[in-house]
Structure 1
């Protein structure tokens, strides 16, 4: 049993829902009945925060069991297990994500973890996973590069009754049929929270640019939609005047921001859909002679460099997207193998960093 998960950060109403969730998932260390509205305290040692499952909202999720899936129980510690990473590990998110999977596998005694990296090439990721299936893995954890195009893999995995857990990004397919479940953040909510911080930074008026993430996945689509919907709802005097993809990379974020400040020198704010693009934007602003705070930047991820940039005055706020999937992914897999019901999606609760919390919380960032 994994005990690293902390109490779900909600109050009163939230405690009841948290208890219900814990009953459904049997998540260790969750919902002890106490109120907790503040972000968890720093854990020290640079290890950062483990993921916390958010309180459920809306309609109950559909569930999947081993019996319904049609698979057979096996011992995780004695079979090959596959993890497919999508992107080059130049991005701190990917480094932390892979490390979390490897560390938890080692902690649990999983002797045969097979890790591949698609190097940001979708065709390679498909080939990587097909090879893992051919090698006889019994469980797949996949961080998908794109949301579409997985049909060949899903068909091959389904034929062998291999459960697939997707983390960080969704696959556009049917849970408990094509794959087991998705574990990750509410990306639409992240976009809304980023918009709230931008509204706060600009006092509800001004011109904003969006550095879009990579096309072809649900993260970019939902972070964009959440931000735009919130701006329209709460601050119609903020105008989005520039949108261009920075492909979730620092280099491209810098290039796009250099173009931005040439075409829109009076821009007031930049919403970067991940920290790497935000840090690329900072480099561009420094090169253009801008000072910290001249242009308000809000981003999503929670990397240590981005949180430090808040301390240094270059970023206004960062909405976390926690990459430490190892404990929750393997705990979910074990519960599934034990015959317990697994929801079709498991949404985690992400914190925020701003000027009031960044310095003291730097040790929690990755």
Structure 2
């Protein structure tokens, strides 16, 4: 997949063709970071929203660089420049509340997407249930190693304090509680990073030789880092049960090769759904959504763009759908 954005960029503005109206809506998408593929897919999907392509929306993508203070400064920028709406994927569930407050005081509606913030001032949220995905991925690993037989697993966590880390861990622990014979040998953050996860796994393989049966990676990048460590140690990946979350391209390839399991988090649906909801919030009118994701997921009812929570479904990656998913990344 082409690399959409440089990880060092602070922001980039995507504009479609010549504006279809005199005053396009100014919408900012403040994303926690653009270094990894998942958020790059999210940003590319946002760029492809019909309202952005037509010029109805002037969309600015902000790279939060995995820093809550950077994200807060970006909201101050949106407040100063009079943005009409903001979409927020915060790095920290608690610290992000200040950014939402800044927008609220400036009269800017904030739509959450992908990661959550602990704020009653949020207008709406378009994302997926991370507790559910954490439970699903842990179940995949536990079923593979045998819940009754027992065994040992390690958990590679996302950034501590981000809602996805908190909720996926809750789901991991719920599944593990159903398999009391399975022991968690190690549990540590790798900050969604493949390289950090590889280092962690290298250390764990040295500390627990021959003892690790499963790897619960709270995202695909970290699961892939664990796979690289296993290969570098000269071990057989097929001797480990490994699962991740997101459905990034390399993970899809690894699923097809039988090296891991994954659950697709639909970045396109989250991004384009959030833009539709943001337009509805900014216009206070009878806006009809322009993205096709609402027909793709009919169980996610539009409700005039006024629902407080839009739950984008998870899709387990399987042998039956992996080729079709890979085809979308060409």
Q: Normalised by the shorter chain, which TM-score bucket? A: 0.7 to 0.9
| 1:261–1:267 Cα contact (<8 Å) kept | yes
After TM superposition, the structure 1 = structure 2 runs for residues 238-317 of structure 1, keeping only pairs within 5 Å, are 238-265=182-209, 266-315=211-260, 317=261
Aligned-pair CA distance for 1:362: 2.4
State the match for 1:36 in structure 2: none
- Which residue of the partner structure matches residue 195 of structure 1? 138
User: In structure 1, the residue corresponding to 2:132 is in which secondary structure?
Assistant: helix
- Of 205-214 and 145-154, deviating more is 145-154
Distance 1:365 1:193 in 2: 24
Cα distance in 2 between the residues matched to 1:302 and 1:76? 39
Q: Distance in 2 between matches of 1:101 and 1:76?
A: 21
CA contact (8 A) 1:299 1:319 kept: yes
CA positional deviation for 1:338: 2.4
Residue 364 of structure 1 and its aligned partner are, at CA, apart by 4.3
> In the TM superposition, what is the alpha-carbon distance from 1:156 to its structure 2 partner?
2.7
TM-score (norm 1): 0.73
- TM-score with structure 2 setting the length: 0.81
Distance in structure 1 (CA, Å) of the matches to 2:22 and 2:231: 50
Partner of 1:115: 61
Q: Distance in 2 between matches of 1:199 and 1:115?
A: 39
Structural mapping, 1:62-81, within 5 Å:
78-81=24-27
Alignment match of 1:346 (pick from 307, 310, 314):
310
Matches within 5 A, 1:1-366: 78-87=24-33, 89-104=34-49, 105-174=51-120, 178-204=121-147, 205-233=150-178, 235-265=179-209, 266-315=211-260, 317-324=261-268, 325-336=270-281, 337-338=284-285, 340=304, 342-355=306-319, 357-364=321-328
Residue 134 of structure 1 deviates from its aligned partner by 0.6
Rounded to whole Å, the distance in 2 between the matches of 1:295 and 1:301 is 20
The root-mean-square deviation of aligned C-alpha atoms, in Å, is 2.2
Change (3 A) 1:122 1:282: same
Larger RCO (CA within 8 A; separation ≥ 6): 1
* Conserved? CA contact 1:77–1:109, under 8 Å: no
Number of matched residues? 288
Taking a change above 3 Å as real, the CA distance of residues 252 and 211 of structure 1, as seen in their structure-2 partners, is same
Distance (whole Å) between structure 2 residues aligned to residue 133 and residue 352 of structure 1: 39
Q: Secondary structure at the match of 1:172?
A: coil
Task: Report the CA distance shift for 1:319/1:151 in structure 2 as closer, same or farther (over 3 A).
Answer: closer
Give the secondary structure class of the aligned counterpart of 1:112. Answer: strand
Stretches of structure 2 lacking an aligned partner (at least 5 in a row): 3-20, 287-303
Deviations 1:69-121 (A, max 9, x none): xxxxxx9962322111221x231101101111122142342352222212222
Question: 2-side partners of 1:100 and 1:262: how far apart?
Answer: 41
| Cα distance in structure 2, aligned partners of 1:76 and 1:147 | 37
SS in 1 for 2:125: strand
Residue 226 (structure 1) shift: 0.7
